[in-house]
Amino acid sequence: MKRLFNIDALKGFAILLVVLGHAIQPNDPSHDSTIAFRVIYSFHMPLFMFLSGYLAWDRRLSLVKKAITLLVPFVSWYCISYLVTGTYQHLSPMAFLWRVILDQDWGLWFLWVLFANFFVLSLALRVPRRYQDLAVVAAAVSIKFVSIPWEIVGFELIQWYFTFFAAGYLIAKHQSSLIRWRRPAQVVSIVFFPFLVSFWYKSDSPSFLPYLRDTFSAYNLPGLDLILSAYAYVVPSLGIVLAFLLISVLQHYSIFAALCWLGLVTMEIFLSHELFIYFLTQTLGAGGSRIVPYFLSALILSLTLSFLLRRSKLLSLALLGKQDRQLLGARHGRASGVPWGVLPRKDDPGVRPTGRAVAVDDSPLIIGTPRAVAADDPCEHSGPRAPRTGIM
């Protein structure tokens, strides 16, 4: 059984960015002005959403399974956060639940938004096959014009991230015809991403906005909002292209195998790492010198906790969203979304030795020809199906 090792490595790279970003925040009061933090946050979650959509192509979509995989741990870990951290003890259980419903932009919002994206995709794919691409594009565009009186159930996040999710789905579906645009996209991202991201801020408007506003006001020019909206999407899109390019370079080095392995445990790391960072900062204090130690500690502790939770079917289901079939695969060493021991091997038909490290065949994006399985770990995949070639 072949795996998409480049996708595994991309997931591993993305989860490292997530943990590093969360380690920076409590330890650097001025993190939003730190270039490393701004680069990470400019594209790391859009990258995850893009990969989720990419791996959702050409597979049966079960919303029940998605609910178990994504929403069960979503609820469980919020309950743990409420009971253990004490941060929200001033709220009654019902008030805490209401806050979770109303405001998703904190904690484990990614799981809820990812499930909502799968739900929207499932609605778009109910049309006849020949109209499905148009339906996905229409959903991505029309959802932008839906307005609600207040931010509820993370709808603003769904509006923002479904664009990247849909883009991943459509690019995966049509990558053979888009292959000729791979090199131009890489060149554009190399040239423009470093420049454009220098103006990007997580908690503020782009730093060029005052100058742009003055110029548009002086000459009475229209289209300022359109430019800002385009900028908001262009920066993460270029970052995603650069991430694909980086992984294609790293596949010739030993770190590629490590990223592949981490890519198989993204759900486990994502669910618990922030809780460990919280306890570390509360117990040992915060400071710039603690960013790397807390980053590494959160990774190790998350992986250790995952190993322990997988010993119990009930805990694995409740806290990791892993079902019996997935656990069975783990105990028999199969790559059914299971992290243990699934790495690129020299005897794999889709892998070749390079002397220094194990690398994959020189396909532009993906390795092998598997059927994609949706990104619940936050993305997983397996199984051969139709031949596909990559584009990035």
- Indicate the helix (H) or strand (E) that contains 84: helix 72-84
23's CB contacts (< 8 A; 6+ apart) are 277, 291, 292, 294, 295, 298
pLDDT in tens, 77-115: 988 888 887 777 777 877 877 777 766 656 788 999 999
pLDDT given for residue 190 in this prediction: 97
Average pLDDT rounded to a whole number, residues 312-324: 87
Q: What is the distance between the alpha carbons of residues 66 and 226, in angstroms, rounded to a whole number? A: 35
At residue 389, what are phi and psi to the nearest 5 degrees? -125, 150
Cis ω for the linkage preceding 378 (within 30 of 0): yes
Residue 330, token pair as written in the block: 């783990």
- CB contact at 8 A, 345 and 233: no
Average pLDDT rounded to a whole number, residues 35-60: 93
Percentage above 90 pLDDT, the chain? 64
The DSSP-derived string for 317-345 is HHHH---HHHHHHHHTT--SS--TT----
Average pLDDT rounded to a whole number, residues 243-247: 96
The ranges assigned to domains in the chain are 5-360
- The DSSP call for residue 71 is I
Count the helices and strands in the chain (H runs, E runs).
17, 2
- CB contact at 8 A, 4 and 370: yes
The SS3 call for residue 234 is helix
pLDDT in tens, 125-179: 999 999 999 999 999 999 988 877 556 677 888 999 999 999 999 999 999 999 9
80's CB contacts (< 8 A; 6+ apart) are 275, 319
- Indicate the helix (H) or strand (E) that contains 358: strand 358-360
Angle (CA) 53 244 49, round 5°? 25
pLDDT in tens, 2-13: 568 999 999 999
Q: What is the distance between the alpha carbons of residues 323 and 65, in angstroms, rounded to a whole number? A: 9
pLDDT given for residue 88 in this prediction: 73
Q: What is the distance between the alpha carbons of residues 59 and 170, in angstroms, rounded to a whole number? A: 13
- CB contact at 8 A, 365 and 390: yes
Of 3 and 291, the one with more pLDDT:
291
Query: Considering the entire predicted model, what is its pTM?
Result: 0.83
pLDDT in tens, 344-370: 554 454 444 333 333 333 333 433 333
pLDDT given for residue 380 in this prediction: 47
pLDDT given for residue 381 in this prediction: 47
Looking at residue 66, its amino acid is K
Nearest to 323 by CA among 72, 43, 42: 72
Residue 273, token pair as written in the block: 């790492």
Has residue 388 got a pLDDT over 70? no
